[in-house]
C-alpha cells in the first residue's frame, strides 16, 4: 500500500504561565517525533539557561517594533508587560512538507491566528488549538513560586493574567488538565497521534493513484 502523505498541523498550545505547558510538550515531542517548535521573538530578558534562537529570539523593543512594521509577524501580543510574536518565517513551508509545528502562545495570539485562518483555507486546515490548564489556582501559585524565576511583582501579574486566560479556555478545541505530569503527557501524546489521522490534512485519493 502506498504511504499516504499528510500535511502537517499547526498545533497551538496556550495556558497560563505555570500550567506546565512547556514541560509537557518538551516531554511529548521526542515521543511523537516529527514535531518542530516555532521559536517566538520576545522583548523579555532571557531566564537562566534559556538560549537565543532555541527558546526565543531575544530582541529589543525597537527591533520588535520594526519587525511589526515590516509585517514579519503572523501574530504578536503584549503579555505580562513584554512583547511576544510568531514570525511568519517560523510557519511557512513546514506544514507543507508534513512537519507538525507547535506554537506556545497566549490567548491573544491564538485569537489572531483564528482571525487569519478565516481568510486562508489552507492555513485553517492545519490549525488545532489545545489549552493546558493547571488543576487549581492554588497549585498554579505553588508552581510559579517553586520555579523561582519571578519577582513578587511579576508573579502577581502572572497570577492575575492566569484568571483572565482561564476564561478563554472555551475558545479552544481540546483541554488537558495538567494534574499529573505523566498522565497529562500521555493525553497530549494521544491527542497528537489522533490529530495525525485527521482527513483534513490528507488526500485519500492518493492511496489508489
Contact 38, 101 (CB under 8 A): yes
Q: Which of 35, 79, 102, 162 binds ligand 5GP (CB under 6 A)?
A: 79
Candidate residues 25, 84, 131, 172; the one interacting with ligand 5GP per rule CB under 6 A: 84
Contact status: 150 vs ligand 5GP (CB under 6 A)? no
Single residue of 85, 127, 144, 191 touching ligand 5GP by CB under 6 A: 85
Residue 105 binds ligand 5GP, judged by CB under 6 A: yes
User: What are the backbone angles phi and psi of residue 75, rounded to the nearest 5°?
Assistant: -160, 155
Binds ligand 5GP (CB under 6 A): choice among 10, 106, 127, 162: 106
Q: What is the phi-psi region of residue 206: left when phi exceeds 0, alpha when psi lies from -120 to 50, beta otherwise?
A: alpha
Q: How far is the CB of 13 from ligand 5GP (least distance, A)?
A: 8
Q: Which residues contact 171 (CB under 8 A, 6 or more apart)?
A: 107, 110, 111, 114, 129
State the binding string over 151-190 for ligand 5GP (x if CB under 6 A, else -): ----------------------------------------
- For the purposes of burial, counting CB atoms within 10 Å of the CB of 146, is it exposed (0-12), middle (13-18) or buried (19 or more)? exposed
Site residues for ligand 5GP, 32-71, by CB under 6 A, read: 40, 44
Nearer to ligand 5GP, 86 or 95 (CB): 86
| Binding segment (CB under 6 A) for ligand 5GP, from list 79-87, 124-132, 181-189, 191-199 | 79-87
> How many whole angstroms separate alpha carbon 137 and alpha carbon 143?
10
Q: Which is nearer to ligand 5GP, 111 or 186 (CB)?
A: 111
Query: Applying CB under 6 A, does 126 fall inside the site for ligand 5GP?
Result: no
Q: Which of 10, 43, 86, 126 binds ligand 5GP (CB under 6 A)?
A: 86
Rounded to 5 degrees, what are φ and ψ at 17? -55, 125
Residue 200 CB-half CA count within 13 A: 16
Closest to 93 in 3D by CA, of 52, 126, 56: 126
Residue with cell string 485553517: 124
Residues making contact with ligand 5GP (CB under 6 A): 17, 40, 44, 75, 77, 79-80, 84-86, 104-106, 108-109
Amino acid at each position: 500500500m502506498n504511504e499516504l502523505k499528510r500535511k502537517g498541523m499547526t498545533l497551538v498550545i496556550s495556558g497560563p504561565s505555570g500550567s506546565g505547558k512547556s514541560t509537557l510538550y518538551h516531554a511529548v515531542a521526542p515521543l511523537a517525533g516529527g514535531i518542530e517548535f516555532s521559536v517566538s521573538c520576545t522583548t523579555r530578558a532571557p531566564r537562566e539557561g534559556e538560549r537565543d534562537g532555541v527558546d526565543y529570539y531575544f530582541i529589543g523593543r525597537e527591533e520588535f517594533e520594526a519587525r511589526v512594521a515590516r509585517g514579519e509577524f503572523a501574530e504578536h501580543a503584549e503579555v505580562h508587560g513584554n512583547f511576544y510574536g510568531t514570525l511568519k518565517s517560523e510557519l511557512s513551508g513546514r506544514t507543507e512538507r508534513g512537519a507538525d509545528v507547535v506554537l506556545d502562545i497566549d490567548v491573544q495570539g491564538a485569537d489572531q491566528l483564528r482571525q487569519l485562518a478565516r481568510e486562508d483555507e489552507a492555513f485553517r486546515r492545519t490549525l488545532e488549538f489545545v489549552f493546558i490548564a493547571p488543576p487549581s489556582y492554588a497549585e498554579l501559585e505553588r508552581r510559579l513560586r517553586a520555579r523561582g524565576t519571578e519577582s513578587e511583582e511579576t508573579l502577581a501579574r502572572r497570577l492575575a493574567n492566569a484568571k483572565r486566560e482561564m476564561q478563554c479556555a472555551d475558545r479552544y478545541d481540546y483541554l488537558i488538565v495538567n494534574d499529573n505530569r505523566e498522565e497529562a503527557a500521555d493525553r497530549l501524546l494521544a491527542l497528537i497521534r489522533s490529530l495525525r489521522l485527521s482527513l483534513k490534512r490528507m488526500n485519500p485519493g492518493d492511496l489508489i493513484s
